[in-house]
Structure 1
């Protein structure tokens, strides 16, 4: 019975995160940020890597300041790497498919902050890890966004507002 409750708890938290993401996508950025921060306070810095990755990933989207967005995206990548390395509960294979998007987000963050070298570094990591993406709409979208950002970084050193990587909740 205890094992069954432990399995239900992560699903319940991911469901709660998904509900807040729907609120954000509906246009209520401030309320979404507030609720995601409440969830972050519940799990803390030592929470399960899957939860930290998911929350940090979506918290990045709610930030007004590019430096704050970068900080949350860095937290998301750190937690995803824990999972991919087998240091946390979750499926390392499914998380590996999420890492290209995380590097893509970091590349865009660094580009917005005028740090072209760091942007290109993460963009290269996104490209190198893109082989883990599925041949589906999400994978195609991430690969296309990598290509668009590569073009933009090659042209002017920074992205415009239209590059937009697809967002997907990590599964585990």
Structure 2
């Protein structure tokens, strides 16, 4: 019985991640409004008690679909809050997300002309990036951190 429950949970998690991935393809294809609509429906379905890792991933993606920088910040803050609910950051997937979460928050604060807040999150992104692997994803996040640091230094 316990194995069946775990299998159902895994299938549900896979379905959510598949829907997030499909919606990200819409977003990258330029259909921001439809992506926001689909992300919003999925957010409502997950609910406040939904899996924190799924909520983190979804909010992290939903932030990218926003046109208003204040809305983007709100979604990035939701993603960080959900990540903190996963279990103290000990989960491998969350450790890999923290650098990107803080980088996005730093970028949000730059857009909102709040450089002090941006620097705080940039420092957190830099510190968290030590947990990233030396792969394409890790290199990309580190490069984005360096670019934003240069931009902030120039201001």
Q: TM-score under structure 1 normalisation?
A: 0.85
Counterpart for residue 65 of structure 2: 62
In structure 2, the partner of 1:32 is 35
CA contact (8 A) 1:84 1:95 kept: no
Alignment check: 8 A CA contact 1:84 1:96 kept:
no
Q: Give the corresponding residue for 2:51.
A: 48
Deviations 1:129-160 (A, max 9, x none): 1101110111001101111111100101xxxx
1:99-140 deviations in Å (ceiling 9; x for gaps): 001100000000100111000000000011110111011100
State the secondary structure of the residue aligned to 1:94.
Answer: helix
Cα deviation code 1:23-65 (max 9, x no counterpart): 1111111001001000001011221101110110111011111
Equivalent positions of 1:1-172 (< 5 A) are 1-85=4-88, 92-156=91-155
Q: After the TM superposition, which parts of structure 1 deviate over 4 Å for at least 4 consecutive aligned residues?
A: none
Structure with bigger helix share is 2
Call closer, same or farther: CA 1:97–1:2 in 2, change over 3 Å. closer
Please give the root-mean-square deviation of Cα atoms over the aligned residues, in Å: 1.2
- Indicate the residue corresponding to 1:160 in structure 2: none
Rounded to whole Å, the distance in 2 between the matches of 1:151 and 1:143 is: 12
Uncovered stretches (5+) of structure 2, i.e. residues with no partner: none
Report the TM-score when normalising by structure 2: 0.94
How many residues are paired up? 152
* Distance in 2 (alpha carbons) for counterparts of 1:75 and 1:112: 18
Pick which of 38-47 and 63-72 moved more.
Answer: 38-47
Aligned residues of 1:84 and 1:93 also touching (Cα < 8 A): no
Alpha-carbon distance in structure 2 between the residues aligned to 1:21 and 1:85: 27
Higher relative contact order (CA 8 A, sep 6+): 1
**Which has the larger displacement, 13-22 or 76-85?**
76-85
**Deviation at 1:3?**
2.8
State the 1:82 CA deviation.
1.9
